[in-house]
Copies of this chain bind each other. A is one copy, B any other.
Amino acid sequence: MKTPVPPAVLSRRFLLSAVVVMPALLRTNSALAQSDPLPSWNDGASKSSITNFVARVTAQGGPDFVPPAERIAVFDNDGTLWIEQPMYVQLAFILDRVKLLAPQNPEWKSQQPFKAVLDGDMEALASSGEKGLVELIAVTHAGMTVDEFAKIVTDWLATARHPRFNKPYTELVYQPMLEVLAYLRANGFKTFIVSGGGIEFMRPWSERIYGIPPEQVVGSSIKTKFEMRDGQPRLFRLPQINFIDDKAGKPVGINEHIGRRPIAAFGNSDGDLEMLQWTTMSGSGVRLGLIVHHTDAEREYAYDRKSHFGKLDLALDAAAVNRWTVVDMKKDWKRVFAFG
């Protein structure tokens, strides 16, 4: 027997079906909202190489499926996630810090490499070479606790401005790359920074700016020493290089900190060559190697084979051989920064 259905029941039935169907509706809506996960990228081969890669490694039951635990993606920082011209941001920090500390160190006026910094003589600074740089790191990065250094970095970033854009450096991060970070994480990836820059220079802000927590930042480091001082434990920063996370050091740093092979690597310079090789040229399964090629002098900078910072020469040749994606910043990116 078919019972006639009163309006109140219809309404309940509707409610019931809505409750049952709602999750599916929400999924559809969010799928629609996410139909372009990379809105700052122009359509083309670069963008497709990213979305195709993600589609393949996340397709359950597909031949290229990778379990979430193994979806490790590594990103260089300078020139890949944020600006590195007219000089590495950390070098700008060093120069500012030397100027700030100069009054307490009057001998610097006549002593290289400090004199070069105080005179703004970049040529003399460059000629002081790696030895000069290590001396500058010793006086600006050591001689305080790790907590004190984190505060020094945070305070500096709050006031320092980029000479051309007149913006805080933390706003000079590439919007298209922020989208890649978020897109990968939404697809089960764990995202890591693997940078030649100082690990403790990046950690105070990496979570806020990139959504990358301190434990997922790999970088260069100086030695620290644990000691009890006035009944309080502290880690004191020593003027000795511990590890250089650049070039052939990057796979070493990846192995030491992550302990598994990434399946995607993003870089922009010869400093990233070995990280890209390590990620894409061994092991089985699909891999993504990507190089940000700075081709946009108008919106940012154009540089590659002969640049002092972020030189891209060997890695550009290797990209062609290894089928790494080479992003043409001018053509592939709708916008470079979040502002403007």
Could you tell me which A residues sit within 8 Å of B by CB distance?
3, 6, 8-9, 12-13, 15-16, 19-20, 69, 72, 146, 190, 199-200, 203, 207, 213-217, 221, 224-228, 231-235, 242, 248-252, 255-260, 274, 277-278, 281-282
Q: Are B233 and A252 in contact (CB under 8 A)?
A: no
Q: Are B282 and A233 in contact (CB under 8 A)?
A: yes
One of B15, B72, B232, B278 near A282 (C-beta < 8 A):
B232
Q: Are B235 and A251 in contact (CB under 8 A)?
A: yes
One of B69, B224, B227, B232 near A255 (C-beta < 8 A):
B224
Q: Are B277 and A252 in contact (CB under 8 A)?
A: no
Q: Are B282 and A234 in contact (CB under 8 A)?
A: yes
**Residues in chain B near residue A214, CB distance under 8 A:** 258-260
**Residues in chain B near residue A277, CB distance under 8 A:** 228, 233
Q: Are A251 and B274 in contact (CB under 8 A)?
A: no
Q: Are B16 and A12 in contact (CB under 8 A)?
A: yes
One of B233, B259, B281 near A203 (C-beta < 8 A):
B259
How many monomers of this chain does the complex have? 2
Task: Show 28 residue pairs from A and B whose CB-CB distance is below 8 angstroms, ordered by the A residue.
Answer: A3-B6, A3-B8, A9-B12, A12-B13, A16-B16, A72-B215, A146-B255, A190-B215, A199-B259, A200-B259, A203-B259, A215-B215, A215-B257, A215-B258, A215-B260, A224-B252, A225-B248, A226-B249, A226-B250, A226-B252, A226-B274, A231-B281, A233-B277, A233-B281, A235-B251, A235-B278, A242-B256, A257-B257
**Residues in chain B near residue A235, CB distance under 8 A:** 251-252, 255, 278
Listed from nearest, the 10 A-B pairs whose CB atoms lie closest are: A214-B259, A226-B248, A226-B251, A233-B277, A16-B16, A203-B259, A215-B258, A233-B278, A9-B9, A214-B260
Closest residue of B by beta carbon distance from A202: B259
Minimum C-beta distance from A215 to chain B (A): 5
Closest residue of B by beta carbon distance from A8: B3
C-alpha gap A146/B16 in the complex (Å): 57
**Residues in chain B near residue A224, CB distance under 8 A:** 252, 255-256
Minimum C-beta distance from A195 to chain B (A): 13
Minimum C-beta distance from A21 to chain B (A): 11
| Extra pairs beyond A214-B258, A215-B259 (19, CB < 8 Å) | A3-B6, A9-B12, A12-B13, A15-B16, A19-B19, A19-B20, A146-B255, A190-B215, A199-B256, A214-B260, A215-B258, A215-B260, A221-B256, A224-B255, A226-B250, A226-B274, A235-B252, A235-B278, A242-B256
C-alpha gap A9/B8 in the complex (Å): 9
**Residues in chain B near residue A227, CB distance under 8 A:** 248
Closest residue of B by beta carbon distance from A228: B277
Minimum C-beta distance from A47 to chain B (A): 27
